[in-house]
Structure 1
Amino acid sequence: MLDFEKPIAELEAKLSDMTKIAGESGVNMDETIKSLENKIEDLKKDTFANLTRWQRVQLSRHPDRPYTLDYIYELTDDFVELHGDRSVSDDKAMVGGFGTISGKTYMLIGQQKGRNTKQRQMRNFGMANPEGYRKALRLMKLAEKFNKPIITFIDTPGAFPGIEAEERGQGEAIARNLREMFMLKVPVICLIIGEGASGGALGIGIGDKVLMLENTWYSVISPESCSSILWRSWDYKEQAAEALKLTAGDMKSFKMIDGIVKEPLGGAHTDFKKMSSTLKRTITKTTNELETLSPEERINLRIDKFSQMGVFNE
């Protein structure tokens, strides 16, 4: 439980006790229970409407938050995972394969974190090695060959920073993905579902539409790393988060993304079915819009969009 969720949890505990007492004693407490339910709802709305940037970072890392494979298996009934970069190995931090959403086949690619210690070690905490990005590119090219739209799910604290990753060409693998994704002839939708950190996120983040879930972040560096560089301590991570302006609202105002996908009240983890349903509608609607354009039009618009980022007139 996050600190700002504690007042809500205390009221929910009281509601649970009150409901239990009413059931056991037979006393009619409907009016009191309804009043408390309304109070909880109002507190939730007020709390989550006024989250600080650091609190949204915390929410994006919530241990119960859905990960890439959670969404993929919920959105599709026939997902077939594909493995390997055909060069070095199969990076478990990057997953991908074909699946059908609303009757249309997509290539679904994303970073995958783990729920427990064993899974986190296997998935390398969602930090892909060069072979992960090369696997992602291989799958994108396969989707292009068969004219299938691509969806990427971004949720990573960054690309793996180990020496062995650099020796195998981490920077080159990400840079190649950036170049190749600009030129893909099929629609590309990028969804930031959790953490979107550094080149690790950008390596699968070039798309016709880049969308962020409401309680996610997207930045060149995490608040903790920024704090450690500027203040030689992680104690200033909250100030760093404010300075970085890394939330979905910030990114939309800077025109770094194309839209924000609203989450259920309390975060995506509080109502996974509703969140998945919202994503499904968003994916279908966005794909239909993109398919009205020719491949050449999509490529030109994609290049223009990213070329204009960071450009301003005095």
Structure 2
Amino acid sequence: MDMSNKRTKKRFLRTRKQREQFFSATMLFPALLFLIVLIGYPLVTVLVDAFHNVNLLNNSAQPFVGLENFKKVLSDPKFVPALQHTLFYTFFSVVGEYILGLTSAILLNKKVKGRAFFRIAIFIPWLVPIIVAGMTWSWMLNPDFGIINYLLTHLGIIKEPINFLGDANYALQTVTFVNVWRSFPYYTISLLAALQAIPDDLYEASGIDGAGKFEQFVHITLPQLRSVSLVIVFMHIIWTAINFDFIWVLTQGGPNYATDTLPLMIYRYSMQKFDVGTASSLSTMMLLGMSLIFVFYYKIKTKISEETLN
């Protein structure tokens, strides 16, 4: 009798566990379908098109061309400059965002009057839609009626207005600066949250041992911010490298391709030349690059986790 009860109980538990697994799978199915339809299928399509001659004007002929699309990209005279612009834009954007975000986070972490207001106000650039921010900066930087040139000339900093977005000598740096202005609040909020999680006991103990503010910053603050810094830096490296809309709103890659980047090249291949195969090959190359960055991030993250556990 006892054996029969045990078998019945095990069968019931097994059946209950199966029901729970079926219910969980049913609840996850819409999300899985969403990922397949909106991410999986387009990704596979891009990878397949990269090795085929796909053209929107001649959709009937799609022969397999192997690596010809990749050769076409690499032989394009605009590819190397666009790659250099992408690296410049990404590197200096991320560095500028982190420095400005860390500085503002430290200042906002101090007990000052109106701290709540400043914490809210500093997040406004991140909340402004890209199209609005881009058009606003275009007006502000206009050499004829922009307020930036007006202030610089009246303060005696420059002798005559500068076409920041229309001069190849200033365009890329200007776009990078504007991107830093827009993105640094995200760093500020993330780093501020991490700063508030640092125990005050660490600073008090180091102060008793004679450590100054700079030593506390180097040996306490920065190590405590290492994990969150790693996440937001690598996340923004990918976001910035594949950014299209902000540069397009400001300059459309001009003047004379001075701010042209790889995402803009993909757009021109696909939407202006209708050469989807070549656009897909360049997208595949960028995907491989982003994957390598992710692998590098994962290794560093694993190393930090192991050091924390030890």
More helix by share: 2
Which fold has the larger relative contact order, with Cα–Cα distance below 8 Å and residues 6 or more apart in sequence?
2
* Fold match (TM-score > 0.5): no
| TM value normalised by structure 2 | 0.22
